[in-house]
């Protein structure tokens, strides 16, 4: 089934497996004349890249991206941009036992049940390696946003890793890019690192919560009823490996609130645009942006690849005990941050392109003459 594409007008199709010759993304629908270079995209890939610190896997991929099409003289032509990342680090090993066994918590068993085959060298298509292609394509989306809708800033960060949680009172936007956990609190980094190293020593892993914010998104983008901005964002984040929940604004907490607490009150700002007393809505009402920060949060399950033995079965149905050796993150949430930023960029750009086709003179300007 043709299910490897994401987006309406800005459409990204990723391809490739963890242990194949290469992986990449076909980016179709990038507007023409957007400045795009391998350097620009590499910047974001390096941010995601494994092996950069002891909190992520030691697998050491340069993850160098090549632009094979769609860019001429440093600018997008409006035709498909093909991005390729070669898999240079494919250690050969004896797959004997693991080739026959389904790893608990992994997609090995469901892929086999669906497709009737098994790429026993690793996760194959279900590996988080696929997200490298998203991050590269996210770089294209960011550049397109720069030229189409300047002033939009997209940033992701961790808010929780198992027992560790950020202190909102100490939230520091500028600290996020300064530490390996992308957390908005420099002083907390050491505690988070100690916690994670302890887990690693216990041969265990842990889940996380990641929050992504888009600032400067214009009001009025999104589309009812099934292409809502929040619908597309939920799909975008849920498509990331290991994600089990997605929240917009108040998220699950909305169930505890009363109407008198939840609805954000509206006032007229000095610049002639509406302002809100709060942002319980996460910047989205009825699937359309309000002009406030778009705030999305998601939970990532703990890595299933751990050294603690687990019960499972083989392809032939016999029982097996599984210990997943090799290079794995004790918390995949860290790696999910730049991926989620890329997905946010896809969705915002896509809806801006969709909206541009329909916008009219003074359409929907509050305070404008009828």
Kindly identify the residues of this chain, within the stretch 232-291, that bind its own copies according to CB under 8 A: 232, 234-235, 237-239, 241, 244-268, 272, 274, 277, 280-282, 284-291
Give yes or no for a contact between 243 and 189, defined as CB atoms under 8 angstroms apart: no
Pick the binder of its own copies from 45, 65, 154, 199 (CB under 8 A): 199
Nearer to its own copies, 47 or 66 (CB): 66
127 is in an annotated binding site: yes
Provide, rounded to whole angstroms, the least separation between the CB of residue 175 and its own copies.
21
297 is in an annotated binding site: no
What's the CA gap between 246 and 298, in Å, rounded? 4
Provide, rounded to whole angstroms, the least separation between the CB of residue 169 and its own copies.
20
Exposed, middle or buried by CB within 10 Å (0-12, 13-18, 19+), for 194? exposed
Pick the binder of its own copies from 91, 169, 317, 325 (CB under 8 A): 317
Pick the binder of its own copies from 2, 92, 174, 270 (CB under 8 A): 2
Provide, rounded to whole angstroms, the least separation between the CB of residue 140 and its own copies.
13
6: Cβ contacts below 8 Å, ≥ 6 apart:
12, 13, 235, 236, 239, 343, 346
Degrees, nearest 5: CA angle 226-151-40: 90
Q: How far is CA 332 from the centre of its chain?
A: 11
CB atoms closer than 10 angstroms to residue 225 = 8
- Residue 222: both structure tokens together: 């999104």
Provide, rounded to whole angstroms, the least separation between the CB of residue 141 and its own copies.
13
Give yes or no for a contact between 340 and 128, defined as CB atoms under 8 angstroms apart: no
Between residue 139 and residue 178, which ones bind its own copies under the rule CB under 8 A?
160-163
Nearer to its own copies, 49 or 106 (CB): 106
282 is in an annotated binding site: no
57 is in an annotated binding site: no
* Beta pairing, strands 310-313 & 22-28: unpaired
103 is in an annotated binding site: no
* Beta pairing, strands 71-72 & 75-76: antiparallel
Could you give the maximum distance between any two Cα atoms of the chain, in Å?
Answer: 74
Of residues 28, 36, 60, the one with CA closest to residue 46: 60
304 is in an annotated binding site: yes
Residue owning tokens 């300007």: 365
Residue owning tokens 């420099």: 186
Nearer to its own copies, 174 or 353 (CB): 353
Q: Number of residues in contact with its own copies, rule: CB under 8 A?
A: 161
What's the CA gap between 284 and 106, in Å, rounded? 34
Name the segment binding its own copies (CB under 8 A); options: 149-157, 174-182, 183-191, 217-225: 217-225
Between residue 327 and residue 366, which ones bind its own copies under the rule CB under 8 A?
333, 353-358, 360, 362-366
Nearer to its own copies, 47 or 75 (CB): 75
355's enclosing H/E stretch is helix 333-356
242 is in an annotated binding site: yes
Nearer to its own copies, 10 or 182 (CB): 10
Provide, rounded to whole angstroms, the least separation between the CB of residue 316 and its own copies.
6
Between the alpha carbon of residue 204 and those of residues 134, 162, 189, 217, 359, the distances in Å are: 28, 12, 20, 39, 52
301 is in an annotated binding site: yes
18 is in an annotated binding site: no
286 is in an annotated binding site: yes
Between residue 24 and residue 83, which ones bind its own copies under the rule CB under 8 A?
24, 26, 28-29, 31-33, 66, 68-70, 72, 75, 77-82
- Residue 225: both structure tokens together: 């009823």
Between residue 74 and residue 133, which ones bind its own copies under the rule CB under 8 A?
75, 77-82, 84, 102, 104-107, 109-117, 119, 124-126, 130
Nearer to its own copies, 211 or 341 (CB): 211
Give yes or no for a contact between 162 and 206, defined as CB atoms under 8 angstroms apart: yes
Nearer to its own copies, 20 or 174 (CB): 20
305 binds its own copies (CB under 8 A): yes
Instruction: Indicate the annotated binding residues.
Output: 48, 125-127, 241-242, 286, 301-305, 327
């Amino acid at each position: 089934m043709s299910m490897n594409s994401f987006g309406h007008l800005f459409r990204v199709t990723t391809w490739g497996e963890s242990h194949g010759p290469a992986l990449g993304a076909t980016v179709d629908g990038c507007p023409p004349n957007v400045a795009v270079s391998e350097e620009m995209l590499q910047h974001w890939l390096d941010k995601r890249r494994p092996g950069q610190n002891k909190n992520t896997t030691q697998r050491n991929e340069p993850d160098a991206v090549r632009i094979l099409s769609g860019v001429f003289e440093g600018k997008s032509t409006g035709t498909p941009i093909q991005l390729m990342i070669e898999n240079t680090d494919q250690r050969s090993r004896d797959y004997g036992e693991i080739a026959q066994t389904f790893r608990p918590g992994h997609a090995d068993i469901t892929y086999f049940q669906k497709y009737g085959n098994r790429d026993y060298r690793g996760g194959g298509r279900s590996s988080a390696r696929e997200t490298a292609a998203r991050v590269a394509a996210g770089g294209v989306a960011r550049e397109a946003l720069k030229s189409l809708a300047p002033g939009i800033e997209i940033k992701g960060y961790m808010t929780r890793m198992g027992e560790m949680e950020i202190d909102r009172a100490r939230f520091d936007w500028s600290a996020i890019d300064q530490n390996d956990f992308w957390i908005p609190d420099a002083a907390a980094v050491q505690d988070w690192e100690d916690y994670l190293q302890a887990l690693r020593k216990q041969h265990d892993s842990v889940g996380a919560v990641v929050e992504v914010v888009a600032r400067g998104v214009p009001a009025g983008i999104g589309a009812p009823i099934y292409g809502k901005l929040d619908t597309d964002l939920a799909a975008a984040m849920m498509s990331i490996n290991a994600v089990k929940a997605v929240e917009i604004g108040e998220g699950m907490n909305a169930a505890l609130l009363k109407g008198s607490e939840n609805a954000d009150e509206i006032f007229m700002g000095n610049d002639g645009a509406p302002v809100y007393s709060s942002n319980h809505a996460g910047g989205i009402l009825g699937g359309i942006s309000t002009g406030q920060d778009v705030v999305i949060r998601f939970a990532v399950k703990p890595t299933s690849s751990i050294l603690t033995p687990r019960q499972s079965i083989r392809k032939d149905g016999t029982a097996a005990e599984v210990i997943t050796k090799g290079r794995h993150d004790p918390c995949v949430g860290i790696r999910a941050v730049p991926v989620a930023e890329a997905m946010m960029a896809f969705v915002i750009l896509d809806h801006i392109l969709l909206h541009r086709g329909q916008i009219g003179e003074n359409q929907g300007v509050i305070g404008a003459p009828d």
